[in-house]
Structure 1
Amino acid sequence: MIDAGSTGSRLHVYRFRQCAADDPVQLKDEALFVQTIPGLSAYTPDLAGQSLDPLLQQALQAIPKNLRRKTPMAVRATAGLRLLGHEQSEKVLDAVYDHIHARYPFPIIGGRESGVTIMDGKDEGVYVWITVNFLLGHLKSKGAPTAAVFDLGGASTQIVFEPDRIDPKAMVEGDHQYTLTYDNHDYVLYQHSYLGYGLMEARKRMHQRILELADQVKPDLHVSHPCLPRNLEFSFPKNAPSPEATFIGQGLHDACTNIVKDILNKNAVCLAPPCSFDGIHQPLIAEAFAQGPIYIFSYFYDRTVPLGLPASFKLPELGRLTERVCMGEYFEQLPDGDLRDEMLDRPEWCLDLSFIYGLLSHGYEIPDDREIRMAKKIDGVETGWCLGAAIALLDEAGLEQDA
């Protein structure tokens, strides 16, 4: 399974055991996980397919020669290609399919039409939910609370959970309601994918909003920025020949959180209450998901764990860490020189943490007293949507005939 994300491409090779079509799928292991940057959206169509060669060459080494033509594969692009627009993204995917089909032995299930595609945002979130609950063993225990999942990519963020109760007060009808059938059991899920609210897109939104607010007061090339470290000078757009402005960092956690609330559009018209942000219906976590565990992934993990946030925490802990980073206290007390250098080389740590905190607390409205868990892997397997998508692919491939 190739995850063609907005910031990079990642290849997963899984080994399953399934002797008959009606047998439950058993995961033996994740035989290979490799990645490369940047993502497909950074390439012209003629180079997009070639960008996957380093990944596919390693797949050839990992999969025995006699099994290569029996090992199905698929390419699923996510929000990065969605943002390119239909015409350009289709050209990229056509080129990727042609390149893989001509050079590699792995059968692409569904051909170009369904084997090399842009994944719907709702499927992305649901596949993450399948992955996590499959690895945690929650799908084996019928009636047991399942885990809620919150994913943060570069261009989009997803939420999926199974409400504790399903009634009109918990969830109204609409695209956000997703019925998943797995192992002869129906799971009625709430899901939504917010395109444009991934971490990289949020950075752009926040910088742009601060410029707009400054111009409303007094147009100036030097603009105070609450979400950058104190006294830091930062040109925006970054590395442009003629920057629009130079941001002067203030390191103000509360003021930065207000910018996050602003871009989350919490005041948008809510046509189907209750709503989370941007006018999107969402059952309240405090009321509709009171029992199961909460898991967060991807950039939620990548931007907090290096700073010492534990794998299990509550939002006030994240808020305190964010404030320390924004005010500069974290840098002053940091004994790890390599981490200090990395943080100074990436001045948007304060902004990133403020967005993550604001998204979880004010956007999704996770209560302060709820435990939140992070995991890069569960039982040695990478979390994310790929395993869930691979399990779904097994049904299409009919692998039991080759067992």
Structure 2
Amino acid sequence: MSSGVEVSGSQRRPGIWSYFSFPGPRRRVSVTLPRNFDPNRDADSFEKPDRHSRRRSTNPDGFMGDHKGSSIMNQGQRLRYIKTGGVIAFILLILYFVAPRDGLSKGPLSSGGNTASGDAKAQCTKSYSKEKPLIQYALMIDAGSQGSRIHVYKFNNCGPSPALENEVFEQTAKKEKGGSGLSSYDGDAEAAAKSLDVLMEVALREVPKEYQGCTPVAVKATAGLRKLGKEKSDNTLAAVRRRLETVYPFPVVSEEKGGVEVMPGEMEGVYAWITVNYLLGKIGGPDKNPTAAVLDLGGGSTQIIFEPTFPDVPRGGLPTKLAEGDHKYTLNFAAREFALYQHSYLGYGIMEARNNLHATLLDSLYQTNKESGSTEYLKQPITNPCIAVGMSREVAVAMPASHPLGATVTVNMTGPATSSPTQCRYWAEKSLHKDDECKLAPCAFRGIYQPPFEGTFAREAVYLLSYFYDRTSELGMPESFSIRELQDLADKVCRGEEGWDVFKPVPKAIEELKGRPEWCLDLNFQFSLLRSGYGMPIDREVRIAKKIAGNELGWCLGASLPLLEANSGWKCKIHQDQ
């Protein structure tokens, strides 16, 4: 006869319930009684009369009436249901945390999928968006006149915008004579295209094979290629595209999106702006943060680009939006639209600025002496307030076309007896041609329209790149300083060695100053460009930078980031199993 009572010493397998603990009333134990049980035998005088009777009391005054037995049974069933549901919920909770988050996906895409593939590693395990792979690569070839260089960028999509994980770059070796850029092959299109093979080998090595078919490549050549003439230039670019498309597994960005092109001058500034603001975290995220202005000073040209803000209603002479024209560049990046002001001033890089100032000074001397017809003054040292005291430099000055002094004049520029930085700034401002006709006001210089800094970009960050950085950081200037402090620095440099004591603790500063008599000129030109040219308030803070977050600043990163977005002019070259 079986009994529901546990028998001492029996070996029963524990049920699943024994592994879990649940709160609530203790489970009732049901006891099966013998059929011949006599309720009157050995009756307990304190026992309730109906305890063992098969016939329940019908006394309506009894506790819970006739429904007590059925109530007890229903309560036991409910407890079992609750426990069963609790166990199921617990198991599902464990599976939720243990199972892969992307368990319902159909497998990784050929571009790497929602998780890392092959040898690739990422800083997280899952892409922020299922619309993008966890890891993306992009290839950008900077085809300069002196050589070509490839940038291999690796990004992850752990967050709402791509994060740069790594950059690898390599440059073509220089030739025995001249540079190794595309233009150095003088129209031999096939040879020029093959010169990039050594760079593409770097890409094949750095990009895992399973990602190569979805890694876009673009080539941006500089104006040096344009010097070959349109026919030779076009043939070279066509040969480059043909070789990249037929020899390598990487998709080439389409012609419509400028995949292989001579990069327009203004785009260099736009891409530099993207690079700086991306690395600062001001673009690419969900927040609409104020962006930074970028002023780049190269050797032959200078660029300015910023996002001006305008009042809702016209006030103080300011309109409500940026005027239309070539200066306006509309950029769509990371689901956000930017109306940027940009301009590239050719001939106003630091090297060209030196020549412009020397030529302006020589032209003034010519105008003073032209009635006499004598040019003997050119044979004597010419006092130039932009040369530091006690220093001199022989300079070959390129004069404006058809100038009476000739195409080039070689003279000895000598610093004044006493420091004269104010007079140096006079010549620097004169070389900016502030008086040129301004067809669309307000203008910066050379008659070029520019929204006023003070009214449309009063508080946002301003970053100075390239020669702005080189000429100031090498003399111990901090990362942030005012335009007035730049003027003070120029004044110290123009004094010559007797005023250079403050620079002695700065490594190599004295050596650099002694080797460049034009350092006084360079700093005064920078001050005049910022203060008089661009109209920045003298107490405006600016920042100099060569790197941000350990990454080099330049246009290549900014040109690569848009390639990670949809509809950027390329498609994967291999089939994706969905």
TM-score, normalising length: structure 2: 0.60
Structure with the higher fraction of residues in helix conformation = 1
Deviation at residue 340 of structure 1 after TM alignment: 2.6
Instruction: State, as a whole percentage, how many aligned pairs show the same letter.
Output: 42
- Contact 1:31/1:62, CA 8 A, preserved across alignment: no
> Contact 1:325 / 1:349 at 8 angstroms: preserved in 2?
yes
Maintained 8 Å contact 1:29/1:381: no
Write out per-residue CA displacement over residues 104-140 of structure 1, whole angstroms, 9 at most, x where no aligned residue: 7355423699333222233222222222222212122
- Out of 403, 419, 431, the position equivalent to 1:263 is 431
Contact 1:180 1:188 in 2 (8 A): yes
Find the aligned partners of 2:409 and 2:204 in 1 and give their Cα distance: 45
1:348 counterpart letter in structure 2: E
1:248 to 397, 407, 414: 414
- The reply on whether 1:81 has 2:81 as its aligned counterpart is no
Q: Bigger shift: 349-358 or 166-175?
A: 166-175
Give me the whole-angstrom Cα distance separating, in 2, the residues matched to 1:206 and 1:4: 31
Question: Is 1:135–1:378's contact at 8 Å kept on the other side of the alignment?
Answer: yes
> Partners of 1:158 and 1:76 in 2: how far apart?
18
Q: Which residue of 2 aligns with 1:368?
A: 538
Query: Structure 2 CA distance, aligned partners of 1:154 and 1:373?
Result: 20
Q: How far apart, CA to CA, are the structure 1 residues paired with 2:206 and 2:396?
A: 42
SS at match of 1:131: helix
Report what 1:3 is aligned to.
142
Which residue of the partner structure matches residue 324 of structure 1? Answer: 492
Instruction: Please state how far the C-alpha of 1:338 moved relative to its aligned partner.
Output: 3.5
After superposition, the Cα gap between the structure-2 partners of 1:201 and 1:92, relative to the gap in structure 1 and judged at 3 Å, is: farther
Q: Output the CA distance in 2 between the equivalents of 1:204 and 1:51.
A: 35
Shift of residue 277, structure 1, vs aligned partner: 0.9
The equivalent residue for 2:75 is none
Which residue of 1 is the match for residue 394 of structure 2? 235
The whole-number CA distance in structure 1 between the counterparts of 2:367 and 2:215 is 58
Residues 1:41 and 1:399: Cα distance change in structure 2 (over 3 Å): closer
Q: Which residue of 2 aligns with 1:377?
A: 547
CA distance in 1, matches of 2:428, 2:193: 37
Q: SS of the residue aligned with 2:326?
A: coil
User: Which residue of 1 is the match for residue 36 of structure 2?
Assistant: none
Q: Deviations over 1:200-255 (max 9, x none)?
A: 222222222222222223432332222222233322228xxx96212223353212
* Inter-partner Cα distance in structure 1 for 2:510 and 2:545: 24
Greater Cα shift, 56-65 or 114-123: 56-65
Q: Aligned pair in 2 of structure 1 residues 303, 10: CA closer, same or farther (>3 Å)? A: farther
CA contact (8 A) 2:393 2:412 kept: yes
By how many angstroms is 1:388 displaced?
1.5
Give 2:276's aligned amino acid.
V
Distance 1:212 1:74 in 2: 45
Structure 1 residue 323: Cα displacement: 1.4
For 2:474 and 2:230, how far apart are their aligned partners in 1?
A: 34
Counterpart of 1:209 in structure 2 is 360
Superposed, 1:111-260 pairs within 5 Å as: 114-139=258-283, 140-165=285-310, 169-170=318-319, 171-218=322-369, 219=375, 220-222=378-380, 223-237=382-396, 244-250=410-416, 252-260=420-428
Structure 2 CA distance for partners of 1:152 and 1:142, relative to 1, 3 Å: same
Q: Any conservation in 2 of the 1:161–1:190 contact (CA below 8 Å)?
A: yes
Q: Map of 1:5-84 to 2, 5 A cutoff?
A: 10-17=149-156, 25-34=161-170, 40=181, 43=184, 45=186, 62-64=206-208, 70-78=214-222, 80-81=223-224
Aligned residues: 394
* 1:267 shift after superposition: 0.9
For the residue of structure 1 that corresponds to 2:474, the secondary structure is helix
Structure-2 change in CA distance of 1:7 and 1:198 (3 Å): farther
Structure 2 residue matching 1:175: 3-state secondary structure: coil
Q: CA deviation at 1:360?
A: 1.1
Report the alpha carbon displacement of residue 55 of structure 1 after superposing the two structures with TM: 5.8
Separation in 1, partners of 2:147, 2:493: 27
| Structure with higher strand content | 1
Matched position secondary structure for 2:258: helix
- Tell me the C-alpha RMSD between the 2 structures: 3.5
Distance 1:2 1:213, change over 3 A: farther
Structure 1: distance between partners of 2:449 and 2:253:
35
The answer to which of 161-170 and 211-220 deviates more is 161-170
Amino acid at match of 2:341: Y
Relative to structure 1, is the Cα distance of residues 229 and 147 closer, same or farther in structure 2, using a 3 angstrom cutoff?
Answer: same
In 1: Cα distance, 2:145 partner to 2:471 partner: 17
| Cα separation, 1, equivalents of 2:183 and 2:473 | 28
Return the alpha-carbon distance in structure 2 between the equivalents of residues 52 and 212 of structure 1.
Answer: 46
Structure 2 distance, partners of 1:49, 1:247, is: 45
Greater RCO structure (CA 8 Å; 6+ sep):
1
CA contact (8 A) 2:475 2:503 kept: no
Distance change >3 Å, CA 280–CA 110, structure 1 → 2? same
- Distance, in Å, in 1 between the alignment partners of 2:300 and 2:257 is 24
Does the C-alpha gap of structure 1 residues 62 and 371 become closer, same or farther in structure 2, counting only changes over 3 Å? same
Measure, in 2, the Cα distance between the counterparts of 1:8 and 1:150: 25
2:563 aligned with 1:393: yes
Paired residues of 2:434 and 2:445 also in contact (CA < 8 A): yes
CA–CA distance in 1 between the matches of 2:197 and 2:358? Answer: 36
Deviations 1:348-379 (A, max 9, x none): 22222122111111111111222111221122
Structure 1 segments unaligned to the other structure (5+ residues)? none
Q: Quick one: distance in 1 between partners of 2:194 and 2:358? A: 34
Q: 1:101 and 1:206, CA in 2 relative to 1: closer, same or farther beyond 3 A?
A: farther
Equivalents in 1 of 2:240, 2:573: separation in Å? Answer: 28
